[in-house]
Structure 1
Amino acid sequence: MAIETVKMQQTDQTERLKRIENILCGQDGDDELPEGISLPVQTTEELDMFEDRVTDRIHAKKVVSFLASLGGRNLEQATRNVMANVFTKTIALQYSLCGRRQKKCFETLVTYQLVIRAFRKIIPSSRDEIRKVIGSWLACAGDREGGRKERRNQRNEDKTGDSSDGE
């Protein structure tokens, strides 16, 4: 009888593992955005329209499911997967988590709440852990799409320009 119990537990755990894998791989069956909603948001006008649309509970739920289907093995990877599918670099540069440095506050958006819900479906995490990785992702937006390389090249040009001025 003990062997039968172990076999049933193993079968149950195998099924649970398959469900988790399907969610992490985006195969939970509800990974499509509602009609009229497209991501990533590319302009402030699109963001305003997105914010209006996701006030509808059904749309919000589908967006959360879509974002959660993007998955990630850890919170940092989930952040990259989700946030890169929410905002383009252009929009991300306009926001910080709390609205510092003359930027808009991401926490005040409905989108923020949806992202939090999606993260919690992907990786069990506290709100503070999620806030930290989102804040970091937004703060590093300027480094994406070649931004870090451009800044490094500019610094090198400035250094070479300064040394040639003294000659």
Structure 2
Amino acid sequence: MADKRFLITEFHNGSVEVVPREWVNKKMKKVQWPRDLTNTKMEKAIRNSIIPNEDWETFSLTRILGASDSFGRAKKKADMAIYTSSISDSDDDGDGKRKRKIRRRLLTEDSSSEEERPSIVVPEEQSSRPCVPEFPSVECQAGKPVEVQGEREQQDDTAKVESSRLPGRDISLQILKSIEALKHEILLLRKQVSSLEQRSSSSSQSDEPGVARKTSFPVCGEEELASFNEELTNPAIMASVVKELSSVGGMNAQKLIANMLKKCLANSLAQKYSCCGRKGKKNFSSHLLFQAILRATKIAFTQATDLEVQAAVSKFLAGAKDREGGRQERRLSKIVQI
């Protein structure tokens, strides 16, 4: 058994599983076990004998039932160990000193099939071995004291604690924690939507009398845009426009910026601009309206950066020629030319 690659082990809770030799300590009493892996990933980890990590859990082993150099043969022996007391053959080693007891495996492909498997009953007259008591017998060896009742109860309690911390239970707890986190996020989103709705309903009215702007949305011409740019030099009007734009709404910063630009600029005017004035177009970032959109975006999405806002504005203005039937019109013109 000393040179075999895979060991067939029995856990304290009666589970039987194939584990790589690297996962078991030198005394063959403890095994390291990875956290939060599916059955498929767990079997792959065992087959490849991956190196244990520091965050793996440690469980106690009752005994080593056998060993094999082949994962397939070891897995077959582990399945056999659920029903029979002998799993050794000419190729694999095993102690063969187990009472007949059905055990569940940690890794199962179909739990329903295991429940339907019949129990193996051995007639008393065919067994020449004495009945095995429920509690393990106390072996008195030379130089070692007899185990007292208190120590035995302490070991049983330790086995129960380790059984409750097996990988299947950890996965269930992780799923429950994820569900609770999702519920919390949904609650926060509902509060944000409610806040946006309240700001949207109040943004239609100006905060202070006497600062109402002359320009209305959408801005259709360059002269109108220049006039609006002059109006935005007034801090009160700028603050009013920023508040109005921040309440337009959008699932993310890019959607919000697109909705704000649709509200502020007519498509015919948007086609004449790019964010930084490239490809012979006019520079939109030089207008104060761009600064208003930048501030409004950071109010609604505090983690948005200047570069992200600039990229979203560039993308919207670049696609202006395809809106309002522009793309279809270009396709038709190409067909006519052909």
Q: Shorter-normalised TM-score: what interval? A: 0.7 to 0.9
- Which of 1, 21, 25 is equivalent to 2:193? 21
Rate the CA distance shift 1:107–1:155 in 2: closer, same or farther, 3 A.
same
Structure 1 gaps, min length 5: 1-13, 160-167
Q: Equivalent residue for 2:330?
A: 151
Deviations 1:6-38 (A, max 9, x none): xxxxxxxx69953x2144335362344634231
- Which of 265, 277, 286 is equivalent to 1:108? 286
Q: Measure, in 1, the Cα distance between the counterparts of 2:251 and 2:217.
A: 22
Structure 1 residue matching 2:214: 3-state secondary structure: coil
User: Which residue identity is paired with 1:67?
Assistant: L
User: Which residue identity is paired with 2:281?
Assistant: K
Q: Equivalent residue for 1:51?
A: 229
User: Which of these two proteins has the greater Rg computed from alpha carbons?
Assistant: 2
Task: Give matches, 1:1-167, under 5 Å.
Answer: 17-18=190-191, 20-25=192-197, 26-27=199-200, 29-32=202-205, 34-124=212-302, 125-159=304-338
Cα distance, 1:157 vs. partner? 2.2
Rate the CA distance shift 1:46–1:150 in 2: closer, same or farther, 3 A.
same
Rate the CA distance shift 1:158–1:116 in 2: closer, same or farther, 3 A.
same
Q: How does the TM-score come out when normalised to structure 1?
A: 0.78
User: Which residue identity is paired with 2:283?
Assistant: C
Q: Measure, in 1, the Cα distance between the counterparts of 2:201 and 2:322.
A: 33
Residue pair 1:95, 1:106 contacting (<8 A) in 2 also: yes
Q: Which has the higher contact order (CA 8 A, sep 6+)?
A: 1
Question: Aligned pairs, how many?
Answer: 146
Structure 2 gaps, min length 5: 1-186, 207-211
Rate the CA distance shift 1:155–1:40 in 2: closer, same or farther, 3 A.
same
Q: How does the TM-score come out when normalised to structure 2?
A: 0.40
Rate the CA distance shift 1:115–1:23 in 2: closer, same or farther, 3 A.
farther
Residue pair 1:23, 1:71 contacting (<8 A) in 2 also: no
Give the aligned CA root-mean-square deviation in angstroms: 2.2
Residue pair 1:32, 1:66 contacting (<8 A) in 2 also: no
Residue pair 1:23, 1:69 contacting (<8 A) in 2 also: no
Structure 1 residue matching 2:255: 3-state secondary structure: helix
Q: Which structure is higher in helix share?
A: 1
